[in-house]
Amino acid sequence: MLQEMTSWTAMTKDELERQYSPRRWSHRMAADDVIKSHVKTLKEGTERARNLAQTLLNVPYGEGEGEKLDAYIPTTKSLDVPLVIYLHGGYWQFLSKEESGFMAVPLAEKGVVVVAVDYDIAPKGNMDLMVSQVRRSVVSVVQQYSHISGLYICGHSAGAHLAAMVLSTDWSQYSTVPQIKGAFLVSGIYDLLPILSTYVNDPLKMTEEVAIRNSPSKLIPQLKLSSSGCHIVVAVAENDSPEFRKQSEDYYKTLKSTGLNVTMEDVLNTDHFNIIEQLVDGNYHLTKLLMKMMGKS
């Protein structure tokens, strides 16, 4: 079981910032080193994927300069081709699709298309814009790849938040209704209110109103309406901070209580960073789980 902890409302600003600084909770290396290692690992994995799979790079999904995606396409004649959309982390202010193709290394070999999505990170982009962009990217992918056998979405950290916002979309405002079969939400934040007074919000400049309307935990009725047929996996690292772990547990419990198809994965021997880095490995627990979900195990 995940441990209980004090409500964030009772924490000092310093403690909140410590809880929401994932680099300070890794047992593998120093705080700055774990970030450098993370970026290096993701870049190397993405380079490997670009050498293994056919690629379509910088495909526009909108008119904005940052509204582009990369597709990693397997060499297969099969018509049974699942597609996974990956939304990168980086606290809505770092990283890009250039480090986000790594999971195509094992998936392309199994006949799975992987799409890595860019969005306008802060300070250029604000939270409302980023959420709008990833929603539109999903619509664009569905329109471009109408022959796929199943649509799946995976996000890490800030990307898990954005993926959860995609699941909570009112699709009546869009030109199509994506049928997302499965979602992997890895070490995400589902309630944005705790980070309002932390360093994380400095470039985002979210108000309480913005945080509430972009918190997946506040949008459960819409998620149930839009994504009732989706199998949702909420994954958290053993060495994520207690507050990150609580975010995942609370979101999982809320989804479960409404009757949604959701499972919780508490991944042993991982921290906030290598829980996602290891998706480059076909034998990794979460990779095998994703493949099983897609019928590719």
Catalytic residues: 157, 240, 272
User: Could you tell me whether strands 113-117 and 180-186 are parallel, antiparallel, or unpaired per DSSP bridges?
Assistant: unpaired
The phi, psi pair for 184, rounded to 5°, reads -110, 110
The phi, psi pair for 214, rounded to 5°, reads -110, 20
Query: How many residues are recorded in the chain?
Result: 297
First-to-final CA distance of the chain: 28
CB 244 within 8 A of CB 200: no
- CA dihedral of residues 72, 49, 60, 121 (deg, nearest 10): 130
Query: Residue 58's CB: how many other CB atoms inside 10 A?
Result: 10
Q: Give CA–CA dist 266/2, Å, rounded.
A: 8
Residue 72 CB-half CA count within 13 A: 31
